[in-house]
Chains A and B, each alone.
Chain A
Amino acid sequence: MSQLLEATFWSATVAGGLRLATPLIYASIGETFAQRAGVLNLGLEGYMIIGALTSLYVADPTVAPLGFLAGGLAGMLLAAFMVLLSIRLYANQVVVGFGLTILGIGTTGYIFRVTTDVGGRDRQVSLPSEVDIPLLSDIPWLGDALFGHSWYTWLALGLVVVTGFIASRTIFGLEVKAVGEDPDAAAARGVDVVRVRTMATLMSGFLGGLGGAALMLGSVGRFQPWLTANRGFIALIVIIMASWSIWGAAVGAFVFGFFEALGFNLNNVFVDVPVEGLNAIPFFVALLILTASARWARMPRGLGENYVPTV
């Protein structure tokens, strides 16, 4: 019990939270783009897992950064189906999205089974070394929490800044919001709705794939079927909590990671409490925040609706 009063317990929890949040950050900022553009991209879990497996199979014989990039491209390839079926051929977004998730989980599990021996011990990568940024880790209190992260985490935080800028400060960001809010009016103002939705969805596929790759190369190191374990769907929750803001999505991903880490760490404190109960903490917190977020969350008006160009 007394551990709860020590600063190291909490800084370790924050640090663990940031580590666990890293894949979620990639996935949720990408998905935020797609949903801001009006595309309910439920294939996210699929993009993540296909990114995870691809990154392993590329990084294993080569180097991690190459595997990471390949993971992103694999996610983008799966997202291309979303573009083709829903955005170009107007198939129902929910059906296609779920289909891609199931396809991703099934295909990766199958490929993994037929290409490895039992347990997959022959296919694994070593985890990355820690990259400490001198000044950051000298900050009192926070410093400990910002200590010992891999470059996957730093890149994720950097991408939050970049994509946040794109979303709010560029014409492309405006176009994304416009086609998600009011596609007919956007088209009347000369915006190519199909093109913008295509780009946002591919971006979501790429970042979702990177998220899976970051999970694989940054914190797990070896594959197992359905490795992502619902992280794609958690990212979908994070986006609603964040009311479709990029910054908010990053914060939401961290909050989720923090409570997940808290569950793990409390497990060492309260050894009598079943681990399943503590692991449920982040979901319980998410439920509370989701309920509260109904007060502030404003969904893009055209979310989930296909846009059929007239003439």
Chain B
Amino acid sequence: MNSETGAAPASGTPLSVRGVSRRFGAVQALDDVDFTLEEGEIHALVGENGAGKSTLAKIVAGSILSDSGSMSLFGEPYQPSSRREGAAAGVAHVRQQLSLVRGLTVAQNLQLGRPDAPAIFNAGAARAEVERWSDEFGLGVPAETLIDDMPLAIRQQAEILIAVAWGARLLILDEPSSALGPLETQALIALCHRLRSEGTPIIYISHRLPELTELADRLTVLRAGKVVVAGADVRDADLREVATLMIGDVTLLEVDRPEIQRGSIRLAVSDLSVSSPHGVGCHGLDFEVAAGEILGVVGIAGNGQDSLAKALTGQVKLTGGRITVDGTDISGSAGQAIAAGVAHIHEDRSNGLAASFSVADNATARHIGNRRFTSFGVRLGDKIALHARELIERFQVRPPEPAAKASSLSGGNQQKLMAARELEQNPAVLVAHGPTKGLDPEAAKAMRDRCFAAAQAGGAVVVISADLDEVADLAHRIIVLYRGVVTDAFSSEDMTPERLGAAMAGLTETSGATGD
């Protein structure tokens, strides 16, 4: 497979990164990173969300600048100040959000923005060029189909094809398989091998470890902006160890978890399946949560967490299975979910609150239509404000101003406002999706205490989070999602970084594990 003869006039190491650092505000995204891409290799760059993989990719592609350090490309000093400069030097960055223009065809995208394109668009020549490259790589990329009408996998192939047609000497694929099915992933791997044999080295960013054994030659692991494994041979690497290194040390039991009396089953999920047009959905989930119990749902972002949260709160039609709260079926009905006492802390505050509405309107939004706050269809502003004032006091929303717009509050206070709305009455089920995301430590602690309080009051709590420390702090029991199925389930005492890392990276054999 490895041939030295390629179209690229490669002389010297394709890419050498030395001592690159980059800081975003308070976050050190990259800290003195060294990275070398050798000729004719596929180099996997792995790490958790926020480990710095995409930052490194963007620096190499020229989209962002590094704070310090140096790079060389094919033996020559390389310091791109824009993506265009990077592309001109032969670096193509295929991003997670694909950058083909949607209202145009592949052939049109081929010529759009191309540095050496003539002013007249020759549709026939462009089509022929797409077809030629498509044939050469054994792909089925249609030249004259609108990007909108193509499945994601084909769009991605089209973007790689265009990058190669533009003369890319080095490809960066940023989590290319994250939205692909198994067959599509196989096709992608074949394409990568083909490109490698043609002499184009590839940086392959992923946090899905299983495919790397087949795909990559070497791997580099980033954690919190630092290199923890530098260019190890994939064949010699122990992927379980890599998974553990990715995750790092999970610090257990930092907070005082209150003793909570376990009660009867309140939330029962059986054989739950949801299909999602843009994600992996979830498939055949079975679990139960008792009164006073906190279930943690972990997984790398995009493995079905959104679908699960929507299903549990009745916001999406199920393709199979059912969800009951205290014996009442709430499947697919947000109204019934609210009536059954399901509370939802939304992952994204901008979706979880009506930002342009007042604090009072947000705080009382669960009572829309409640006779207490309306008279013959007219909303009773005084009563709403009075009630909102009570909630503001109880949940310590600052500033304590019912008439202020929700968007004027800080992130932490927005989260408190959402908690006030959802947790005003003790919920039967609390679905807390990323409850402390983006909060400062104090606000995060307040939010965790709310979760404990909901459990202590006899609620069944589901915490869905990408923050492993948080789940370790909160949950009694943990299930791990990978591509929409549960790959492992264990009580929090049995949680080890090894076990967690393996399940999150899809290295577990079992896929039908249940939560009990």
Is B101 an interface residue when CB atoms closer than 8 A count as contact? Answer: yes
Interface residues on B, range: 20 to 34
Which residues of A from 172 to 193 have beta carbons under 8 Å from B? 172-175, 177-178, 180-182, 184-186, 188-191
Q: Which of A168, A185, A190, A311 contacts B102 (CB 8 A)?
A: A185
Which residues of A from 109 to 168 have beta carbons under 8 Å from B? 168
Which residues of B from 76 to 107 have beta carbons under 8 Å from A? 83-84, 87, 95, 98-104
Chain A residues with CB under 8 Å of B108's CB are: 174, 177-178
Chain B residues with CB under 8 Å of A174's CB are: 104, 108, 111-112, 121
A76 CB to nearest chain B CB (Å): 22
A296 CB to nearest chain B CB (Å): 15
Q: Which of A173, A177, A182, A189 contacts B113 (CB 8 A)?
A: A189
**A186 touching B113 by the CB < 8 A rule?**
yes
Chain B residues with CB under 8 Å of A97's CB are: none
B430 CB to nearest chain A CB (Å): 36
* Chain A binding surface SS class: helix
Which residues of B from 347 to 373 have beta carbons under 8 Å from A? none
- Report how far A174 CA is from B83 CA in the complex, Å: 21
Q: How many A-B residue pairs have CB under 8 A?
A: 69
**Residue of B83, B102, B113, B119 with highest tally of chain A CB at under 10 A:** B113
**A177 touching B121 by the CB < 8 A rule?**
no
- Report how far A132 CA is from B64 CA in the complex, Å: 61
Is B109 an interface residue when CB atoms closer than 8 A count as contact? Answer: yes
**B113 touching A172 by the CB < 8 A rule?**
no
Is A171 an interface residue when CB atoms closer than 8 A count as contact? Answer: yes
- Report how far A246 CA is from B45 CA in the complex, Å: 48
Q: Mark B108-152, 1 if CB is under 8 A from A, else 0.
A: 110111010111110100000000000000000000000000000
Is A224 an interface residue when CB atoms closer than 8 A count as contact? Answer: no
**B101 touching A178 by the CB < 8 A rule?**
yes
Chain B residues with CB under 8 Å of A182's CB are: 101-103
**B121 touching A173 by the CB < 8 A rule?**
yes
Chain A residues with CB under 8 Å of B113's CB are: 175, 186, 189-191
- Report how far A311 CA is from B83 CA in the complex, Å: 12
Is A300 an interface residue when CB atoms closer than 8 A count as contact? Answer: yes
Chain B residues with CB under 8 Å of A178's CB are: 101, 103-104, 108, 112
Instruction: Spell out A's residues near B (CB within 8 Å).
Output: 168-175, 177-178, 180-182, 184-186, 188-191, 300-301, 311
The 8 closest A-B pairs by CB, nearest first: A181-B103, A188-B99, A190-B113, A189-B113, A178-B101, A182-B101, A182-B102, A185-B101
Q: Identify 6 residue pairs between A and B in the complex whose beta-carbon atoms are under 8 Å apart, listed by A's number.
A: A171-B111, A171-B119, A175-B113, A181-B104, A186-B101, A189-B100
